[in-house]
Amino acid sequence: MLGRISIRFLVPVLMGLPVAVAAVWLVVLWSGHAQRTARTLSAAEVEQIHGRINERLNALLTMPARATAIQRGHILSGRLDREDLRAWRQPLYEFVTAMDAFRGMTFGAADGDVVWVFRYPGKPRPELGISDEQTSRDGVRFIEEYALEDGGSIAEQVGAYAYDPRQRPWYTGAIEAGEGTFLDPYAWVNINGQTTTLGVPFVEPIYDGSGEALGVLTAEFSLARLANFLRSLRVGDAGYVLILDAEGQLLAHSLPPGDVPVSVERDGVPSVALASESADPRVRLAAGEVERSLAGELIGSGEVTVDGEPMLLRVSAYRGAPGLDWRVITAVPESELLAPVAEARASSDRATAWAVGLTILLGLALGIVATRPISRLVGEIRQVGRGELDERVGAAPSRELREIGEAVNAMAEDLQDRVRMRESLMVAMEVQKNLLPQQPPKVRGVDIAGHSTYCDETGGDYYDYLDIDGLGESSVALAIGDVMGHGVAAAMLMATARGILRSRSDEPASLGELLTHMNELLVGDTDGKRFMTMQLVVLDGHDGSMAWASAGHDPPMVYRAESDTFESLDGGGIPLGLFGGQKYETEHSGPWSRGDIVVLATDGLWEARLPDRDFYGKERVEAVVRKAAAGSADEIAAAIRADHRAACAGHAQDDDITFVVAKIV
């Protein structure tokens, strides 16, 4: 029978069948190994996701304690007068509107007075609540609520009702705890029939030096805010996060808002829903896992099934803040994590079928032998292409394949170096970005805006708003600096200078003394081989005076609104870091009038190249400031950025650009 078959077909078939059998066997082995590896990696990925969620949750839930600590310090220092709660309106309004995580802050005094600023769900404006001697009626304490305009001014009264904070759970709970702690969630019910929302209060009792209770501070955020926070976290494409307390109440989840309610009514009272009573199987499953965790059976990872779909689950206890005993449950569908493995297996199956078919058709034993090292080489190259840069291509039987392998190995090593360098630069960029102010300070009489753009991932420009000891509420200290060059070295010197300046600002000193102190320390660090310029300015919004000191930096640009002119300033010493023993003087000028503008900038702004190779120039900066002078500081800064981008379009930025705009208002 075999003798009737042509050798042209017999040899390829006889040689191809062993190849086919071997290929199938290898695919099966690879598939099993890949499945096991994928499951291990998937569990690790869920663990990493869960860890990131806990880190970000911890950052969110530690904010109330920091908030009450700030206000406690203001109360004990007298900056917030307990005898005049009406004067708290503006500080509380600014604090609550600045802290997006909070719905409101409340202070209930030991004598029954109370003040709060709250953003009620469903209401367009924040509301002030105040109860003091002016609101008492026939010996009964009433609280009056007022809607607040943008900026914190009172718009209109919206309600009044009897209220004694000392009888409220948040007050009694704080006094009973004796320290800052979270209390159980409760419902916010506004008297105007607006949306009822469940909230979580952080309460802290305030004591004087003798241990007598002065009152209670609360910082509150809604469970809806916690749910929105969870939905902002990415847990795969179909994963989700649930947070339950030790009683099995569903506090928040990342599921679509309308799918699973967290608020129910029990005996006509809004309450937190029990996870075990939920109609959603995912939530009921989480309730069971919490019960197991409380019994000590499970705190960790595992695999469960929800509606017939395998899920990878991670459960952990969260006790990162006082008063909290929560359970965080992270779940991700197993199919989502294993999808790449299935796709790779299908791709491998197709490739194997083609290879076997071609082997049988061609019958080229030599070709089969030649393709084996090539296939191995391709596989190793694919590993490198997938980012496994530690993999190296092995030795090959032919000179050409060895050269390819050596080239791929060299490329992988080079990519490793580039990836490490890129990651380091990205970390440095993020760190340096966080060193710059996130927002300008609010100073009475002075409107401020700042901006900085680096030409590389890191740079040597610096600006800051300083809290110099001894400055009044209507004064602001501005700093701007420019390190020689740019890049990582400049960024390190900038960070060093920032640390020196901020640490010295905690002690009373003139601006000249601050620069003198910085110069002595920088000379010791740089040995005079690197230097930086710096400008320090203090503006007083009350009397319009200005004090300034310069270390080789261009003087401030001062625009006089009344005369529509720019005033020239002169003075200052040499740059910082060159020579020790330098004494820097504090200069004084002004007074400035309403509408006057002070601009501090680094030379990267006016020395930027235009497409025609000319400089942008200080004259153009002055023209933009003059044209936008009627606007706010932020609008003036935006006008400078817009004009600068338009003028320099088509020419790469080759220096860092930083400036600060301050307007007397």
What is the SS3 assignment for 622-656? HHHHHHCCCCCHHHHHHHHHHHHHHHCCCCCCCCC
For 515-568, the pLDDT digits (tens) are 988 888 888 877 777 888 999 999 888 888 889 999 989 899 999 988 899 988
326-333/240-245 β-pairing? antiparallel
143: its two tokens: 């609280």
pLDDT per residue as tens digits for the range 494-503: 888 888 888 8
Which CATH number do you get for residue 116? 3.30.450.20
**In the predicted model, what is the mean pLDDT of the chain?**
79
Cα–Cα nearest to 565, from 622, 516, 630, 505: 622
Same domain, 600 and 652: yes
Question: What CATH number does the domain containing 526 carry?
Answer: 3.60.40.10
**Is 190 a residue whose pLDDT tops 90?**
no
Other C-beta atoms within 10 Å of 293: how many? 19
Q: Which domain holds residue 114?
A: 63-220
pLDDT at residue 14 in the model: 59
Biggest CA-to-CA distance, the chain: 120
Tell me the C-alpha distance between 562 and 543, whole Å: 17
Positive or negative, the CA dihedral 367, 372, 373, 379 is positive
- Do 469 and 510 belong to one domain? yes
Q: Is the pLDDT of residue 118 over 80?
A: yes
Who wins on pLDDT, 407 or 155?
155
Is the same domain home to 386 and 246? no
Q: Are residues 455 and 542 in the same domain?
A: yes
Under 8 Å between Cβ of 492 and 485: no
Structure tokens at 482: 């420019």
Question: Can you give the CATH number for the domain in which 400 is found?
Answer: 1.10.8
User: To the nearest 5 percent, what fractions of the chain are helix, strand and coil?
Assistant: 40, 25, 35
Averaged pLDDT, 43-71: 80
The DSSP letter of residue 35 is H
- Which of 408, 435, 462 finishes a domain? 435
pLDDT reported for residue 443: 85
Give the Cα separation of 588 and 545 in Å (integer). Answer: 8
User: What CA dihedral angle connects 268, 274, 275 and 280, to 10 degrees?
Assistant: -20
Residue 328 reports pLDDT greater than 60: yes
How many domains in the chain?
Answer: 4
Average pLDDT over residues 444-452: 89
**Spatial CA neighbour of 316 closest among 369, 231, 244, 253:** 244
Give percent of the chain with pLDDT exceeding 90. Answer: 20
Whether residue 16 is predicted with pLDDT greater than 70 in this model: the reply is: no
Give the C-alpha separation, 233 to 441, whole Å. Answer: 30
Predicted confidence (pLDDT) per residue in 329-343, tens digit:
888 887 776 666 666
| 514 neighbors 576 (Cβ within 8 angstroms) | no
Say yes or no: 240 and 132 in one domain.
no
In a shared domain, residues 234 and 212: no
Query: Quick one: pLDDT band at residue 204, thresholds 50, 70, 90?
Result: very high
pLDDT of residue 566: 92
Choose between 521 and 653: higher pLDDT: 521
Determine, yes or no, domain membership for 47: no
Q: Does the pLDDT at position 475 exceed 80?
A: yes
pLDDT over 90 at 20, yes or no: no
Q: Taking residues 96-117, what's their average pLDDT?
A: 89
Are 125 and 138 within one domain? Answer: yes
Q: What was the pLDDT predicted at 376? A: 67
282 and 424 in a single domain? The answer is no
Q: Which of 196, 220, 244 is the last residue of a domain?
A: 220
Query: Do 597 and 469 have their domain in common?
Result: yes
pLDDT, tens digit (0-9, with 9 covering 90-100), for 346-374: 676 676 667 666 766 665 554 455 556 66
Question: Would you place residue 193 in the very low, low, confident or very high pLDDT band (cuts 50, 70, 90)?
Answer: very low
Residue 5 belongs to a domain: no
Residue positions counted in the chain? 665
Structural domain includes residue 556: yes
The tens digit of pLDDT for each residue in 597-649 reads: 999 998 888 888 888 778 888 899 999 999 999 999 999 999 999 998 888 87
Q: Quote the percentage of the chain above a pLDDT of 70.
A: 75
pLDDT digits (tens, 9 = 90+) for 409-444: 777 677 666 666 666 556 556 666 667 888 888 888
Confidence of residue 381 (pLDDT cuts 50, 70, 90): low
d(CA 369, CA 357): 15
In a domain, 132, yes or no: yes
What's the pLDDT at 395? 62
Q: Are residues 623 and 657 in the same domain?
A: yes
d(CA 515, CA 511): 6
Among candidates 349, 507, 490, which has minimal Cα distance to 28?
A: 349
488: phi then psi, degrees, rounded to nearest 5 = -65, -45
The whole-angstrom separation of Cα 314 and Cα 49 is 9
End of a domain among 198, 220, 242? 220
Indicate if 236 and 157 belong to the same structural domain. Answer: no
Q: Is residue 48 part of a domain?
A: no
Which H or E run includes 237?
A: none
pLDDT of the residue at 420:
67
Residue 497 in domain = yes
Residue 14 within a domain: no
- Return the pLDDT at 379: 64
User: Are 413 and 540 within one domain?
Assistant: no
Region 560-581: what's the mean pLDDT? 87
Strand order in the sheet with 309-318: 250-253, 240-245, 326-333, 309-318, 301-306
- For residue 523, give the H/E element and its range: helix 511-526
In-domain check, residue 398? yes
